[in-house]
Structure 1
Amino acid sequence: MSTLIGLALAVTVTGYPKSLRKPMRLWVRGLLIQPFSFVLFSLRGQIPDWLSIIVGNILLIIAFAHVSQALRAYNRKSQLNALMFAIFGITIVGVILLTYVWPTLLGRITLISLVLAVLAGIGVDAIYRGQHRITRPEHMVATMLLVGIVIMMVRILYAPDAGLIELTTSSPMQGIVFTYGSLLPVIATSGFLLMCGERMNEDLSRLATIDSLTGVYNRRTLTELAGKAITASKRHGRALSLLILDIDHFKRINDEFGHEAGDLALCRVVEIMRSTLRESDLTARLGGEEFVAILPDTDEASAFVLAERLREELAASNFSISGWPVPLRASIGVGSLGPTISDLETLMRETDRAMYSAKRGGRNRVAAASSLEKVQGGLRQGQPEASSESY
């Protein structure tokens, strides 16, 4: 059964997302290796002891190690290669000594049970240690591993009958062990596949809300979150501001250095926005080289100061492509909720007008929506638009 399940999964691995292929391949290898160990155990007395005892036990340990490593890879944890090699070494030396130097079945059972319990514990640790939300399939797999740990501990404490001279000799404890060994691949694999299915759903949901290039929210998600933030601000009588940032001369970066360079520039801008803004602020990409930041509990004056700091951080970023310096400049519009701006559509429109006012004023500037009429009045009289320092 383990072989059939392993072969079936091996055929379908390439159909899964790249992020899941490594854990699935590790899991499949474990499934395909484990049956060979039981075959070797069952041939005890018909094949040399070094095959049925030493190789059989080593294959069993390798199979369980692959399961533990698969769970670590699934939760994006580093592989414990050094620890695994140490476990293999201890197993090999221990089994050889307890087979040829101090022959004792009880000693081998104790050693292998302890090693299997440790490997199962590594798998449980991979599931529960971390910041991610534990899903029901993960609980299912962890429960199977925890049951295995309990069985192995009881097996260590339960001395075999005097007549138990072969591993396959019938006894209640051996019946429990081999029953668990036959059920684990089926139940745990079902749980693991459900885990992979939930991960795929999470990734699809994330892709629907996140801009794939920069990792910030996309426009559709921005509309939803901004609407909720505005409703909450109005309900509690709190300030809320909006920034619209447009990278200056972005087309020039694409034309001179290529679109890959433009992508790097966009990611660098997002990195600077995240480091400059607060954790409570929401950042989204409207499209192209245009970004939005929602600033809860922030009035226009404070938002303007923050926008100025963001503009300065971009200008001082020392961004370069293949050793060539590429200046990052941005025009930023600032808008806030107020008597004349009470909904998202109006806030976006007025903030966008402020951003274009900064563009017309010479770029690399910050402009506030509340000063827009004064600036436009000055332009109608033939006066230059005020720079950001005059606000």
Structure 2
Amino acid sequence: MQLTATMTMIIGLALAFTITGYPRFLQYPMRLWVRGLLIQPFSYALFSLRGQIPDWLSIIVANTLLSISFVHLILALYVYNRKPAKLPLMIAIVATTFIGESLLTYVWPSLYGRICLISILLALMCGLGVKAIYQRVEVITRPEHLVAIMFLVGGLIMLARMLKVPDVGMLSVVASTPMQGIVFTYAALLPVIATSGFLLMCGERLNKHLSRLATLDPLTGVFNRRTMTELAGKAVAASKRHGRALSLLIIDIDHFKRINDQFGHEAGDLALCRFVELVGEVMRESDVFARLGGEEFVVILPDSDERAAVEIAERIRQRLGDSDFSVSGWQVPLRVSIGVGTLGPAISDLETLLRMTDHAMYEAKRNGRNRVVPVSAMHSQSALDFGTRDSPQ
């Protein structure tokens, strides 16, 4: 027990030392896990002093601390997986431990009863830990499987323990028996294996977060230009391979420079975020939304011919026109010029699709802004060959 307490304390302190290097969204579940690890050693230390200190310390406080420790570990898993923490249930488990161990120590003294009670409660918490990991729609990673297996094994050991412990003297809990050997071997391995698995879980979550940041525009949260190019290239290849329609929208916010000039760049950032929010309400799940740069955005529309793409573009334009965006109490209209391009005989590759759709968007600006112009509707060949872009605002 003393060895288990020492190992757990060292692991908890080492993890506490490394927490600050992780992003904030991982620090809270890691803090909960660390608290659970740092509480456990005190419980094991009190267990090891059975017979040398009062029973209320070595039995009631020790078991209550062990229960609190497991509660923190389980809460860490719920918070990590963004699930509602079952806080009332956790409080009830701790309260049941304290009250039950008190009654079975002083009112109805029973070693077997105490061990059955704490074993049932620990098995319940192990089951909640397994549920916290597997109750999600994302793919379960190997580190998560590892942590779940450790809690599952712990729950099974606790249930088996109830069948093997006889109702004997108060001090026999520290006696060397095969079942006690299994229990405390598990107690020594849990902080090592489960914490290693939990750290690997956090590492994988961090890698996914960093990978996601590399693909997104930091201000608006939509895909950045590099990612858009990759996704658009794949969409074009899939469209050709399966013979499906594919269209593209290039959207430019009209008079965006005026917003920056009149209200400041912070207002411009708010306008961009509001614009992205409103366009997202119109888009389908299969559509891809990206920021080219500045106030210019791209929407990739799989399985959409030109007619369908124009309808979606018009819905976007109308949704923005009906918005109530304001800055410092001043109503600021969000108007857009949208070019629509579609793969076809005249547009067979991504580069041509982007160029001609961009020309259509500038044709919309030249024709008065706040309108949708498909590539097929451009009136002159010179518009298609337009090489030097103006910058109307």
Q: TM-score range by the shorter chain?
A: over 0.9
Q: What residue number does 2:389 align with? A: none
User: Structure 1 residue 238: deviation in Å?
Assistant: 2.0
Shift in alpha-carbon separation, 1:48–1:258, aligned structure 2, 3 A: farther
Question: Once structures 1 and 2 are overlaid, which stretch shifts more, 215-224 or 259-268?
Answer: 259-268
Q: TM-score, normalised by structure 1?
A: 0.92
SS of structure 1 residue aligned to 2:277? helix
| Shift in CA distance, 101/163, structure 1 to aligned 2, threshold 3 Å | closer
The reply to whether residue 201 of structure 1 matches residue 207 of structure 2 is: yes
Q: Deviations over 1:59-85 (max 9, x none)?
A: 101111111011111112222222211
Task: Give the CA deviation at 1:239.
Answer: 1.6
Q: Does residue 70 of structure 1 match 2:76?
A: yes
Aligned-partner residue type, residue 135 of structure 1: T
Distance in 2 (CA, whole Å) between partners of 1:297 and 1:43 is: 71
Q: Go from structure 1 to structure 2 and tell me whether the alpha carbon gap of 1:265 and 1:25 turns closer, same or farther (over 3 Å shift).
A: same
Give 2:390's aligned residue: none
| Pairing of 1:104-115 with structure 2 (within 5 A) | 104-115=110-121
Paired residue for 2:297? 291
Whole-angstrom distance in 2 between the partners of 1:375 and 1:269: 32
2:240 maps to which residue?
234
Q: For 1:1-391, what aligned pairs fall within 5 Å after superposition?
A: 1-160=7-166, 162=168, 165-374=171-380
Amino acid across the alignment from 1:214: T
Q: Shift in Å at residue 313 of structure 1?
A: 0.4
Partner SS, residue 167 of structure 1:
helix
Which has the larger displacement, 141-150 or 260-269?
A: 260-269
Contact 2:111 2:169 in 1 (8 A): no
The code of the aligned residue for 1:328 comes to L
> Partners in 1 of 2:190 and 2:243 — Cα distance?
57
Q: CA deviation at 1:236?
A: 2.4
- 2:110–2:167 Cα contact (<8 Å) kept: no
Q: Distance in 2 between matches of 1:226 and 1:63?
A: 50
The Cα shift of 1:202 comes to 0.9
Distance between the aligned counterparts of 2:109 and 2:264, measured in 1?
70
**Cα pair distance change 1:323/1:53, threshold 3 Å:** farther
Alignment partners' CA distance in 1, 2:169 and 2:306 = 85
In structure 2, give the amino acid aligned to 1:309.
Answer: R
After superposition, the Cα gap between the structure-2 partners of 1:257 and 1:110, relative to the gap in structure 1 and judged at 3 Å, is farther
> Matched residue of 2:369: which SS?
coil
Deviation of 1:326 (Å): 2.3
Q: Secondary structure at the match of 1:133?
A: coil
1:354 deviates by 0.8
- Distance in 1 (CA, whole Å) between partners of 2:221 and 2:60 is 50
**Offset of 1:323 from its aligned partner?**
4.1
Separation (CA, whole Å) in 2 of partners of 1:360 and 1:76: 49
Instruction: After TM superposition, give the deviation of residue 157 of structure 1 in Å.
Output: 2.5
Residue 293 of structure 1 aligns to a residue whose secondary structure is strand
Matched letter for residue 17 of structure 2:
V
CA distance 1:162–1:93, change in 2 (3 Å) = closer
Shift of the alpha carbon at 1:338? 1.7
SS of aligned partner of 1:367: strand
Structure 1: which 5+ residue stretches go unaligned?
378-391
**1:311-353 Cα distance to aligned partner (Å, 9 max, x none):** 0001112123454432211111111112221111111011111
3-state DSSP of counterpart to 2:252: strand
* Comparing 244-253 and 314-323, the one that deviates more: 314-323
**Whole-Å separation in 1 of the counterparts to 2:148 and 2:380:** 65
What is the DSSP-based 3-state SS (H/G/I as helix, E as strand, rest coil) of the residue aligned with 1:340?
coil
> Residues 159 and 47 (structure 1 numbering): CA distance in 2 closer, same or farther, change over 3 Å?
closer
Deviation at 1:8, TM superposition (A): 1.1
Change in Cα spacing, 1:79 to 1:255, as seen in structure 2 (3 Å) is farther
**1:218 maps to amino acid:** N
Superposed CA offset, 1:194-249 (max 9, x none): 11111111111111212222222111111111111111212222221100011112
Count the aligned residue pairs. 377
* Letter aligned with residue 73 of structure 1: V
